[in-house]
Amino acid sequence: MPSSARSRSVLFALATLLALVAVVASPVMVDAADRPGGERGLRTVMFVGNNHDGTADVIDAATFEVLHRVDMVPDREERLAEIHRDPVRLGFFLGIRHLIGQGNDQFVDDMFTSPDGAFVYASRPSLADVVAIELKTGAIAWRFPMEGQRSDHMAISPDGTRLLVSDSTANKVHQIDTATGERTGEFPSGDSPHENEYYADATRVLHASIGRVYTPTDRAELGPVRDVTKGEEFLQVVDADTLEILKRWDIGEKLDEFGEPNMSGAVRPMALAPDERTLYFQVSFHHGFVEFDLETEQVTRIAHLPLSQAAADTPREQYLLDSAHHGLAMDPTGQKLCAAGTMSDYAAIVDRETFVPRLASYGSKPYWSTTGPTGEHCWVSYSGDDQVAVIDYATEREIARIDVGDHPQRVRAGVVSRPVLARWGHLELADRDR
């Protein structure tokens, strides 16, 4: 192993140990799966992953009715028994619980459905794997364990044949064949690989790593110490076929060039404009988002969104995994963005031209936003309230609030098939206009 790699490994181990000690001592873009399918007999739905429960609520995208709750960890006892037999796995499992889950296990992070509406694919962070669950039976069809100790954000190719999943501690992204659950490729990332998004034509992938969000060294004035403990934070463009890295940027350096040397370069949720030239993304600790020109490779503008008094009074070390804001989506016309103001407890619709926001919805710890399948609505998860809000882009107002399971996080559009609807007791929905 090169000396630089050994140094990074040692620093990672030290940072993890320090963070564990601190815990013990202390008292976005319209995804391919967000577009409706065309086959008769499929119902367009929204999947809401309840991370602490290990369940997913399936909500009708048109009526906002909760149709079913899927158990995303039907193998829970088997997996936990394996973990407790392995001291290394157990150490990471407990570390994830205390550092990332804030005292809770993380059983479902990201989800996508198969094009035929028969399966849901899910990453399960605490169990360090990805599974395909047959929706009709609730059984696991295949399971892909991570090389590292935690799975995170995913992306699915527009044709539904390839799944990308971030392997948090292995610092890479795996490509998985959705039919077999076998790995068909991988590409390297920085520390804590995070968001993945396919371009519309599926030729390229946007990927970001966020660094070690669980370290207690969050203050900008710590300078080099903070940079070392946070690790490498990159934004990448990857060839979707060869998995070759085409571009790699240190956004911290780009922000420095723009005149913001103290802003974090850890790219969080992002939204790609319809022309696929302009990218909007949130970064750690910033209450707003950044506009980045992918052709000139420059930061062009920064949006500063409202900061609540409670958030202003909250030390950075108490931010939810460094997330001032976590959740960013765009309407299909490219005129409005939907931002989740995580630490300020609101969701805002933001005019893309002026960056003027309208606070459209309120709730505790909004932690994801996505544009629904018709393009009319933004769906926002309120992780602290165990609810999901639906916001109308046109009126910029909340039009529905839905109770879900414990700690809703990722919200993704998908489809379910006629046999699945029949099994769930909703066969009449299969032939309705979606």
pLDDT surpasses 80 at 11: no
Q: What is the mean pLDDT of residues 331-351?
A: 98
Residue 177 belongs to some domain of the structure: yes
Residue 263 belongs to some domain of the structure: yes
Packing angle of the helix pair 76-85, 87-95 (nearest 10 deg): 120
Q: What is the mean pLDDT of residues 390-407?
A: 98
Q: Report how many domains make up the chain.
A: 1
pLDDT of residue 422: 93
pLDDT of residue 387: 98
Q: What is the mean pLDDT of residues 113-135?
A: 98
Q: What is the mean pLDDT of residues 166-195?
A: 96
The pLDDT-based confidence of 360 (bands split at 50, 70, 90) is: very high
Q: What is the mean pLDDT of residues 21-33?
A: 33
Q: Identify the CATH number of the domain in which residue 404 sits.
A: 2.130.10.10
pLDDT surpasses 60 at 26: no
pLDDT of residue 218: 52
pLDDT of residue 428: 78
408-416 β-sheet, strand order: 66-71, 55-60, 43-50, 408-416
Cα–Cα dist 207/197, whole Å: 7
Start-to-end CA distance of the chain, whole Å, equals 55
Residue 224 belongs to some domain of the structure: yes
Residue 434 belongs to some domain of the structure: no
pLDDT digits (tens, 9 = 90+) for 295-333: 999 999 999 999 999 999 999 888 988 899 999 999 999
Q: Are 183 and 143 in contact (CB under 8 A)?
A: no
pLDDT of residue 258: 97
pLDDT surpasses 50 at 32: no
Q: What is the mean pLDDT of residues 404-429?
A: 94
pLDDT surpasses 80 at 13: no
The pLDDT-based confidence of 5 (bands split at 50, 70, 90) is: very low
The pLDDT-based confidence of 217 (bands split at 50, 70, 90) is: low
Residue 206 belongs to some domain of the structure: yes
pLDDT of residue 343: 97
Least confident range from 9-18, 65-74, 269-278, 357-366: namely 9-18
Q: Residue 85's Cα: distance from chain center in Å?
A: 30
- Average pLDDT of the chain is 88
Where is pLDDT greater, at 219 or 414?
414
The pLDDT-based confidence of 195 (bands split at 50, 70, 90) is: very high
Tokens of 258: 């723009």
The three state secondary structure string of the chain is CCHHHHHHHHHHHHHHHHHHHHHHHCCCCCCHHHCCCCCCCCEEEEEEEECCCCEEEEEECCCCCEEEEEECCCCHHHHHHHHHHCHHHHHHHHHHHHHHCCCCCCCCCCEEECCCCCEEEEEEHHHCEEEEEECCCCCEEEEEECCCCCEEEEEECCCCCEEEEEECCCCEEEEEECCCCCEEEEEECCCCEEEEEECCCCCEEEEEECCCCCCCCCCHHHCHHHHHHHCCCCEEEEECCCCCEEEEECHHHHHHHHCCCCCCCCEEEEEECCCCCEEEEEECCCCEEEEEECCCCEEEEEEECCCCHHHHCCCHHHCECCECCCCEEECCCCCEEEEEEHHHCEEEEEECCCCCEEEEEECCCEEEEEECCCCCEEEEEECCCCEEEEEECCCCEEEEEEECCCCEEEEEEEEECHHHHHHCCCHHHCCCCC
Q: What is the mean pLDDT of residues 43-59?
A: 97
- Exposed/middle/buried for 191, CB within 10 Å: 0-12, 13-18, 19+? buried
pTM of the model: 0.87
Domain of 149, in residue numbers: 3-429
Where is pLDDT greater, at 261 or 130?
130
| Residues facing residue 395 across a β-bridge | none
Residue 297 belongs to some domain of the structure: yes
